[in-house]
Structures are given as structure tokens and as C-alpha cells.
Amino acid sequence: MNPISVNAFAKINLGLFITGKRQDGYHTLETIFAPVSWHDTLRFSPADTISMRCTNADLPTDDSNLCIRAARSLQAHASLSAGVSIELDKRVPFGAGLGGGSSDAAAVLRVLNRFWNINAPLEELHPLAVKLGADVPYFFEMEGLAYAGGIGDELTDLDSALPWYVVTVFPSEHISTAWAYGNFHRRFGIERPDIKTLAAGLSATHETERLALFENDFESAVFEQFPMVAEVKRLMLNAGAVFSSLSGSGSAVYALFGREDEALQALSSLPDAYPSNITPPGFTMRQP
């Protein structure tokens, strides 16, 4: 088998409502996943054992890494002894609410399913994706906008994409998901808008007034604890964004713009130390 190289794209959350907490400790939620063009690149080469190298020395490459865990879970599922050498060119910031690690793990499952000639259907591997992490099924099974319920693993493909330029900014602050779930301002039981229906119509209507309904329940707590994250949202709105919000549990903030020149102008208002990305309208994760 020849080496294979793929991109693993990040995501933003268009709205995130925490709806409850299960007996096993997991929180239930509603959100809209939207892909952005910010991506890592993974290269797979034949090998006798499973191993990994990464361009970011801060990330472990042992069995605690999601990519290694994904490879080992698929190997065990298929009762194989095959190996692989994985090289991860890490660009998507971690601890940012962009799902970079989950996207990398999903790419490993998807590629090794072919690389090792397993060729199992997606529904057969769905439980493996769920066990790796709540965001992994989205990256494994979807391409564009998707509604997610449950713990983020109950997915509905909305068969659409955002019609705006998406500016995504990492304010150089890593936020623990565990901290976010332990500190968000609880609003269980309140009436929520039907974000599935609202999101499905956005790509056709471009109705910016609906965007204010896509609140993120993590945002107020994160902004209180990390004021520099709140400042990024303020800068984006002042630059003319039609909407801006925290992504996931943060610390990344995204903003939607109608024109590319507005998006570029917004980036110029940011500190140089903040990594960022512009995603064009209509973007999906579809790959050859």
C-alpha cells in the first residue's frame, strides 16, 4: 500500500445548548456543527507496528493520543495485526473548541478502514467513533452542517453549508473542556429555539437576524474567566461581523462576514500572536 495523505478539518459550533446531564456524568446538548478550512494533515505509511510522529512537541504520541487510540481500536475491532506509521502535521490549536483532535482521530478511522482493507460500513464503526469522543462521529460521518443531539453523537445531516466568510481566531488560551463543563452557567429546562430548522434554512435565506438565537451556554463563564477571549468577539463585531460567538467550550472565537474584504480587515485588528483562519462561503469537508 502506498502512503496516503489527508486533511483533517476543524469545526465551529453554531449555537450550543446544554440540555441536561446523564447518570454516567455526560452532559446532553444541542448544537450545529459547521466545518472550517483550518486543518491538520495526516500521512499514513505501511509499517509493522502502530507508531506516530507529530510536528507539535506538546502533544504526546503514545497510547494517550487519540490517533493512536483510534488505530488500536480499529485494529482490535477487525482482529488485525497490521501496523501503520502516522505523521501528524498539527496546525489546528488544541484546547480551542475546534475539535482538532477529534477530527484527527476520525481521519485515522476513515483512512485505516481502507488502508488495512477492512472496508467496514460507517454504521459498523460508529460505536468506535463515539467511544473515542463525542465530536468524533461528526468528523467521521458528515461533510457540512449537521445538527447534533445526545452527547454530540446523534447526528442529522443538514445537507448545507454556511453562506458567509468565517473568521476563526485562537486567542492563545487553552481551555479545558472539563473546566468548561464544571463552570458554565446552568440553564437547564428553559425553552430553546429549534436550531435544527433554523440552521437548515440559513444557507438559502442568509437571514442574519436569526443568528442571535444561536447562543453558546459556555460563553458567559468563559468570558468572565478569560477576558481576552471576550475581547476577540468585541473586535470582530466592531469590524462588521454579522455574528460572532465562542466555539464549543473555547477558547476559539468565530465571526461571520458577508464579504472577504471585511473578513480580512477584521483579521488586521487582531494581535499578531493570535493564530487565525478564513473559511470561504459554502465550505464542506468533502475530499477526493
- So which residues are the catalytic ones? 11, 135
Distance CA 171, CA 175 (A): 11
Place of cell 500572536: 273
Are 199 and 147 in contact by the 8 Å Cβ rule? The answer is yes
Alpha carbons within 13 A on the beta-carbon side of 103: 31
